[in-house]
Chains A and B, each alone.
Chain A
């Protein structure tokens, strides 16, 4: 559990290193003014110091945080939801955004959240129609359309 609790601090150390290394080629001081690397260097240092403080606190048994991870079924639901969102992103350029929304809602309600088929399909169609009416017809947003004409 302690290793899990230490992940945010380790992530911040990694990120601080990335910021430090990623701005190494830039100037720290540029004539009379701080250069593009000035702020990132201090920020990376602050991030690393904070992460070390958190690690020390956790090593001493404090500041472990209120970790609240779901059970297996919960993880599965979150994972499937993320997969569905990624799927929506992937199919949008092919089928268009409005049909992708309908597919996403239908998939989520029927397969991930195990709801009844008819209300789920009606909800999927309803939301997709709502997106078309609000975004495309009312606001005039040009949402991605189907890639191949029939």
Chain B
């Protein structure tokens, strides 16, 4: 069957009352979660994951994915109207978007951001449609050594692209250590259970994700009182002028392409994409002096990039089973919890789910454009709800959601413990996404390493004898060498 026929089948899955309803619900929740400071798309997805257990897996994944990319649209509101990014990928938008809002051009900034996100999002979904099956077919040649190196790359790449590689790698190792708890996957021998039967089945993903992202973030937000006064915007301001569109269309295109490539790379994510697109746009812009003072093309590039990246991250996740970001790590965990086995066979074994998900991203982006263009002032009103009223609700929902996932009060305690860990990680400037990525990748990493060494009778040469694994090994070593080179360069600059 051709790709377009499969996509047509995907649309048949989405264009049902349940499909449309849950995609709309997902993007709406994503829009709200993205707009609220203190809770990002990954936290929102983790919080709502237990609520999807009664749903059909395809519908559940479409809804959760909607939260992921809807969060990118929603984050624009807080960035532009109150200069507080709803999530990290909105930082570059806040730089110029809020300046534009203070000049009375909030509506223009929001509408160009929405249109840019939509165009880049649709472009990225087209790329997902055609690249994913090709990559998935190629990945069918992979064996245990390639899987080990791919999973390792998923952990090391987050370090190479972050500000503090050692801290990011430490977070990754911590995630792998958490995953060690429980029965050994091959022999069944208990590991690090310390005689506690409750730990024999290991530590669930849900309390870790909810604690690290949700509770940790809310605790950090509660340290200070939030007196937010969003800049007002009106419906009639939401219609961009032709001159604004002409001035930003190339920025949207460039931002979308950068975002797609960054999104496909494991570990990079929407924050890196928006930063890279913003810096690139400053070089291409006919008026670079406006950057930092209210450049509409800066907003367009950053928003196009972060939405494109969040869709691009779906390619390695769907084709290889390797998450490229914290949000796709949660999505991958959702697949596993719904009984779906990720990896290159996913496209064949779960064709309805995969193509339904891809088709849902076309529909979801359209919903988001409609939500954001005329309804942005309505969502802006949401920002007037005092945060102190929202925070306890988010915490309570986190604990109830954690309980609902396992029907065990022990999960609630686990959630609180990981919430404290998440808060401490924020305070000590330790990045949290590598921990969650590593936790998801840990089973694949360990199993494929042990299988590789079993195949080679303990010889490490198996990783260089196979051409694909040799290339992957070089990429892994490069991802580790890059931060070392950066550190040496900084050290030389200091001396």
* Residue ranges of A at the interface with B (Cβ–Cβ < 8 Å): 5, 7-9, 12, 15, 18-19, 22-23, 26, 29-30, 32-36, 38-40, 43-44, 46-47, 50-51, 53-54, 57, 62-63, 65-70, 74-75, 77-78, 81-82, 85-86, 88-89, 92-93, 97, 101, 104-105, 108-109, 113, 115, 119, 123, 127, 131, 134-135, 139-144
Contacts and interface: CB of A to CB of B under 8 A. Distances in A.
A112 B79 CA distance: 28
A34 B400 CA distance: 40
Contact of B393 (A5, A105, A142): A105
Interface in B42-86: 51, 53-54
Contacts of B457: 32
Contacts of B363: none
Given A36-B187, A97-B403, A135-B400, 7 more contacts: A9-B170, A40-B192, A57-B166, A67-B428, A68-B429, A115-B386, A135-B404
Contacts of B453: 33-34
A30 B428 contact: no
A81 B404 CA distance: 22
Interface in B73-129: none
B145 to A, nearest CB: 14
B396 A22 contact: no
A23 B191 contact: yes
Contacts of B413: 89
A15 B428 contact: no
Interface string B382-404: 00001011011101110110011
B222 A81 contact: yes
Chain B interface size range: 35 or more
A43 B172 CA distance: 10
A34 B177 contact: no
Nearest to B396: A101
Interface in B146-178: 164, 166-167, 169-170, 173-174, 176-177
Contact of A47 (B170, B223, B404, B409): B170
Most chain B beta-carbon contacts within 10 A, residue among A18, A78, A142: A78
Contact of B399 (A65, A77, A82, A85): A85
Contacts of A141: 404, 407
Contact of A131 (B400, B428, B450, B458): B400
A66 B427 CA distance: 8
Contacts of B404: 135, 139, 141, 143
B302 to A, nearest CB: 22
A123 B392 CA distance: 10
Question: 9 closest A-B pairs (Cβ-Cβ)?
Answer: A74-B223, A65-B429, A36-B184, A70-B223, A108-B392, A33-B454, A47-B173, A113-B388, A141-B404
8 contacts: A15-B174, A26-B184, A34-B458, A39-B449, A43-B177, A65-B164, A104-B392, A139-B54
A19 B224 contact: no
Contacts of B299: none
A113 B390 CA distance: 11
Nearest to B398: A85
A70 B224 contact: yes
Given A85-B419, A113-B392, A43 B219 contact: no
Most chain B beta-carbon contacts within 10 A, residue among A57, A69, A113: A113
A11 to B, nearest CB: 9
B1 interface: no
A96 B369 CA distance: 42
B189 interface: yes
